[in-house]
Amino acid sequence: MPLRLSDLGLWTLDLGLLLFSCSPSMGPTSSTDARDRVLVSGSIREDTVWERGKDYVVVGDVTVEQGATLTIQPDVRVLFKADTEDDYHGLIVRGKLIADGAPPSDSVSRPWTLDLGPWTLDSPGIQFAPVHLAAQRDFELREEPGSWKGVWFAPSADSSSVVRVVRIEYAQVGVKANRCAVRVEQVEVVHSKDVGILFNGSSWGEVLGCTVRENGTGLRFELVKGGEIRGCVVEDNRDKGIECKTSSPEIKDNLIQGNGWGMYCSYGASPAIRWNTLVDQKTGAMGQFRDCFSEITGNLIVQHTGDGIVIGQAGYAGYSAPRIGGNNLVSMSDGYAV
């Protein structure tokens, strides 16, 4: 059972792995919990494995360079030092990252059940055996959003990179893919200062079976041509649950609840929004602004305050014309359904 960052007083990425490779000159030392601890920093220029059962303490950025692969095995902890305000570090991927905390046989099944009175909705369940990414200050967990950068994929990152079964806490942006395609699966991202998972300028992005909660914005696709957001729990994010700008992913089978906006689409976005459950967003369930042409079908929207589906321009000269059909809107006691 991997330890949590709170056990170490460090920021970590919870992958069921610990993330960060070390320089050959730095050997492991014994930690108080009998796990080997390895200090890591700088560039990874050849294929490197962070081994099961070890803690990797990151000093400065770690960069996976082009042509190199960093493989993070299950039961690894990655801890980012943040002892001073100048300590602001992350994992930068220019090559290939395989961070896969595949769940062991004793992993906990986490199906969600939502009781809506006459309705009870069940998800198929998500398995977690997380690797943990977070930060530390003076050997105490720094529970402050934005304490470290996050896992950032550069444009040169290998498109076969995988982030799966990982927990990421208190980053600036939990996972950021800039003009590259990455698969993010069964990842839990919490308490990010800005965005939990961000795809920007990519040809494709996949976010599957993730839990994204208590961030600034949960997920943001910006200038992304395709991809999907499927089977995720997106809850209690301060601003928006899912934001889609000039992008056209398929967004389906997600539970989205307790955010500012549930979904917010703008600037020519044309996603297919299908078969999602949206419950009690603070501002509105869905916003469609500035030349949006979304397809919104088969969704269940439950709002006790705020509005359901809002179509407007917010002062912009263009228009939005989403296709809306086959949705169920329930308990709209304090706002418009559409």
pLDDT at 47 over 80: yes
Distance separating alpha carbons of residues 245 and 330, to the nearest angstrom: 27
Q: Is residue 105 part of a domain?
A: no
pLDDT cut 90: percent of the chain above it: 49
Q: Per-residue confidence at 139, pLDDT binned at 50, 70, 90?
A: low
Q: Minimum mean pLDDT among 16-25, 87-96, 101-110, 318-327: which range?
A: 16-25
The answer to whether 312 touches 286, Cβ cutoff 8 Å, is: no
Structure confidence at residue 329 (pLDDT) = 84
User: Is there a domain that residue 54 lies in?
Assistant: no
188 falls within a domain: no
> Judging by DSSP bridges, how do beta strands 211-213 and 195-200 pair with one another?
unpaired
Domain membership flag for residue 249: yes
Q: Domain for residue 120, yes or no?
A: no
pLDDT for position 69: 98
Measure the CA–CA gap between 196 and 239, rounded to whole angstroms.
12
pLDDT value for 320: 60
In the numeric block, which tokens belong to residue 65? 């360079």
Chain centroid to CA 264: 17
Instruction: Give the domain extent around 262.
Output: 233-337
Asked, for residue 250, whether it belongs to a domain, the answer is yes
Q: How high is the pLDDT of residue 86?
A: 64
Is residue 137 very low, low, confident or very high in pLDDT (cuts 50, 70, 90)? low
User: Is 139 contained in some domain?
Assistant: no
pLDDT at residue 29 in the model: 31
Q: Is the pLDDT of residue 119 over 90?
A: no
User: Is 316 a member of any domain?
Assistant: yes
Q: Provide the domain count of the chain.
A: 1
Vertex 308 angle, CA 322 and 303, to 5°: 155
Residue 312: the pLDDT is 72
Q: What are the start-end ranges of the H helices in the chain?
A: 5-8
pLDDT at 278 over 90: yes
pLDDT band for position 268 (cuts 50, 70, 90) = confident
- Rounded Cα gap, residues 70 and 63, in angstroms: 10
CA-to-CA separations, 335 to 62, 192, 287, 304, in angstroms, rounded: 49, 30, 13, 8
pLDDT (0 to 100) of residue 336: 63
Q: Which residue has 């081994």 as its token pair? A: 51
Average of per-residue pLDDT across 8-37: 41
Q: Letter for the amino acid at 244? A: C
